[in-house]
Amino acid sequence: MTAVPRYAVFGHPIAHSLSPRLHAIFAAQTGATLEYTATDATPEAFADVVRGFFDLGGRGANVTLPHKAAAFALADVCTDPARRLGVANVLTLLPDGRIEADSNDGAGMLADLRGRCDFDPRDCEALLLGAGGAARAIAFALLDADVRKLVVANRTFERAQALAGALDDSARTGVSRWEALDQCDAFDLIVHATSAGVQHATFALPTSLVHARTVAYDLSYGAAARPFVDWARGAGCAAAFDGLGMLVETAAASFERWHGVRPDLDAALRSLRDGSVHPPAAAPRPPSFRRG
């Protein structure tokens, strides 16, 4: 009997992940047969756990915090996006037995931001909160989307400096100490990419970061995104979004890479929003944020 193809998502923590449910929805849509599980792996054990997964027949894996740099490091080959970033959120077993690393976080966020949030980041002033693997992908994506200015802030200032330096675009990038955010001007776009929500940590941001048309976007979803989205609403942002649409975009890209078929993203997103997860709805906003 043919073994069922195995896939997984690895993170720490991982219990909150909707990826298994999402890939089950995609499989039902497309008629694919698969097994997809969530596995908690500590940073110390990550490489051994992932290699063991592939050694035992795993076909592909998604990777979430805090393992995106480690995922890139363990791969045998990498795509151009992963090579440029030095991080990966997708691992694929190739026919010759090598493991390929890829990154689709940036593309997934931009697709959701432009398509569902109706916001084009071109020529905007953006603040990126966080400097980890996901933040790295988002920073490159925002610069590729032609933001006018990108400021990176992180609780560990040296990590913010390191990320800004890696972007190699000093004319459009800057850094801010977390404790000095109240000295920044307001931004058109604020992207939250720290692990605070997933780690159940509290944080406060100055409302001076917001003006009447500011859009806030959290890479997390569900309960993990609620503190930032609630702050954004209270601060007067024109709209605040969680990252469930980004999850669907990145998961669909992974699914297509592994199975050769593109699932119905909007139907899957409706299923998630109507199900057990209750992410914050977007705040009221003007008819369009697109820039001419």
**Whose CA is closest to 255, among 14, 22, 99, 82?**
22
Q: How far is CA 185 from the centre of its chain?
A: 25
Q: Which of 281, 119, 147, 149 is nearest to 213 (CA)?
A: 119
State phi, psi for 54 to the nearest 5 degrees.
-70, -35
Give the CA count within 13 Å in the CB-facing half-sphere of 83: 6
Three-state secondary-structure class, residue 20: helix
Alpha-carbon distance 83 to 68, whole Å? 12
| Cα(11)–Cα(153) distance, integer angstroms | 23
Q: Which two tokens stand for residue 51?
A: 């290699």
- Look at the chain and count its residues: 292
Q: 74: which residues sit within 8 A by CB, 6+ positions away? A: 47, 50, 51, 91, 99, 101
Q: Which two tokens stand for residue 234?
A: 């209270």
Q: Phi, psi at residue 72, to the nearest 5°?
A: -65, -40
Active site residue 149: no
Q: Identify the sign of the CA torsion 38, 244, 24, 55.
A: negative
Q: Which of 6, 68, 116, 259 is catalytic?
A: 68
**Which tokens belong to 17?**
């992940």
CA torsion sign for 149, 224, 37, 40 is positive
Which positions are catalytic? 68
